[in-house]
Structure 1
């Protein structure tokens, strides 16, 4: 028990989760997996065994059709009688063939669906060797299938594989001696019925058997197979017992007491991987179900653990802050569990401590701070040397005296200077119309013209619709001042300046262009660098501070372009949206 006291709460939760959830689920799924996979394997083997049994029965049904047809010829008296007659001329045989044998041989359909050919061989040279009638000539008697049949010649039908002289496959056939009326008829007769090989392939191509099927003869050799690696059509037939048996499951079905299929059997070989595939399907199902059983409880437990662990960590973090005199309450919603009650008690304790500190300690500090602020205010008041109203009154007095002395030009310049000074010192009006901003620009240009007389030439173009637009106060004037003082003033012969204010789409466009000394690439880069500075204000209301102001007001909607080179003047363009 003491050992558990040294384990963190989160680790205890995970230990409970592992021992109470993961371990039981893993054990249960392992047992379930073993049972299910065993059942799936057994069921798959049963399904394959039934499929092989079905192939066996379908093959027997196909052979039974030929046996039934042979029985018909075997017991039909009229057929045997016609075949036993010694015809004196061909016309008599053709007439007898048309009257009975043609309809019997060609129109007998109940057993002909899977049969390719029917031939009645007779030791009667007066018959024609055509129309499903064959003569038991010496050539026929020398064939392999005839010799094979003669070894076990009886009245019972026999299923055989027939090969050519080179031992290659020709067909599967049923042979039967027609001796039912041997006591009354002396001619040797034999019926040979051939099967359609394609029907045999369809019987053995069962989709439920994902392996190879074999038709094995009485000698244990492979007479037919769906295995493409076995050459069952060739003369050198392979023994079924010689097949490789590594990781192979065999299914064999013999025909037992059926006389005409005695010794024949249908066999199937299935690779164990095919069985494993079915087992893997069940394994995937078990794995997915196990994952769901693990993930859902994990999410629930993590959610509950997080509710407990995070709040305890938060309380511990605030308790550590108390050591450094940071008395912060825990800002969480009220909860009714034990941790919520602990949080409320902690907040109550912190509030009491803060109250005690403020009553005793902070109150004394505030008194001293107020005393310092009072003395600082008195010092600032003593340091104020010039009253702006005194400056305006003084300038107005000088202007009036100039008018009395008929110095109208001087009076006008003083008035312009007073307007600019009043505007720069009064910032309670942050937004002005373009018309008012243009007034500041004209006042500045009047002062410059007074200073340089004909050295400065100015062209101003303002669209009528732009005059009523609202812009930040003194946003254009610093650019005009910069063009005049730094661009044209250094010239010996003077220069010109073009000012344009227009509305283009949703933007107000201000352009000032001079033919002054221009700027180097370094100076241009410095102007562009102002766009990247945040929170930096210069000592004067210059271009740097104008760019900073419009960035604060408009953000990324500001467009600022500078086109200048030494000796070729400067063009500055500022695009801003209407008042936001």
Structure 2
């Protein structure tokens, strides 16, 4: 029977033991004690702060409304303004003279531009012209809710009219029963300023402005702003654990019965609970020293033997395959040491038996690829030479013209370049010269049936590409595309730069290909290992894949009876020949 030892415990059992004793239990106990003590303290403090913030917000909003009410009151008792509004003006000049005499009355409202959005005096005196702060009282205004709210209201003091989007102070000037005309003062508060008061307030919850009937008239709550409709205070949507505050406006004729109602989410208050003072220090000491002692005792069982195993692993880097001395511990580290010994034994065998053979195999593959590349190059030259000679032979039999001399000269250029080009890469300029010689031969063959146009960016002409990259596609366009076309064949070649790529585009107006033929051609390029009929283009595709890999892309667009368009994209890179 074995004696109990920490080294015999499985690593997983050790980690679970460390977690339960050193992490789980201390954290649970600490959080329970901390939560009970600090939650109540923070909640009390936040409640006092929120109550004070609501009180301050009530006063600030009351001051804004009082300022507007005082302006309305000053307008209502001003005799000059009343005489101006009651006078029947015989001429425009008489009205302007009277208006100039009372312009100083509006200085107060103009100074309150931060808190007051607009201050208008509305009158139904037909001889008064609407201008500045004085406007006409239209019949449509008498149909509004704000007008109906003051119809039966005592005009001795202002009336507060609140909607979800505005706050206004409204007051009649004198009593219509004793005046010829009706005059109303309407002062709208600056809602941006009111919203700023709510935003900058230290109260962290939602604020509701309620009237005498406990109906919410204005609020910054998202749910209220989404509907923008008054609702009863009882219907306010509240969090599960809500703290409510209410500040009443008292001893105020026009604000009497109105109140500010605040709703604070208790969860947000408690989210800011933090450790405090000496209590934290004692808890931290308990959570640190006791778990540290246990962890040190347990980790010694792991650290010493892992360090010994690591020492042998570092020796392997220097090709010293010394095995770890056999140990009898039955935990994961003991098993790791045994598996390490097996591993270094296999590595040593693999190096001796497999590594050298693998190097030889890779060298053979590289040589085979190079041989394949040279073979592809050698297949191309006779292919084009045969087509050119066959063209000259056919034309010579049909006509005995002197144009044959020019064709032979172009043929000589192609033949000379095919022999003299020992390099794998040539410049675009050299490739274009070869293409032009080939197309001139084709023009000789087709007489007036073939036309071509070549456009090359000047900056690209000296860039290197694999030789005979574009020529097979030109040959395919002239022979397979234009030859069977009943009209005049046109071949357009464009070579341009797009970002860091060379873009080759060749277009012909020949017979084109069907979708099935396009799919067959794509399968032949990418998956078929045999050479088939389109040997020239197949060779080009294979060479470009060998040279550029996935950086080379091609695209063929064709429709039967409407020609073919081929796009090749090659990366721009320096080539070491």
TM-score interval (norm. to shorter): 0.3 to 0.5
When normalised by structure 2's length, the TM-score is 0.43
When normalised by structure 1's length, the TM-score is 0.43
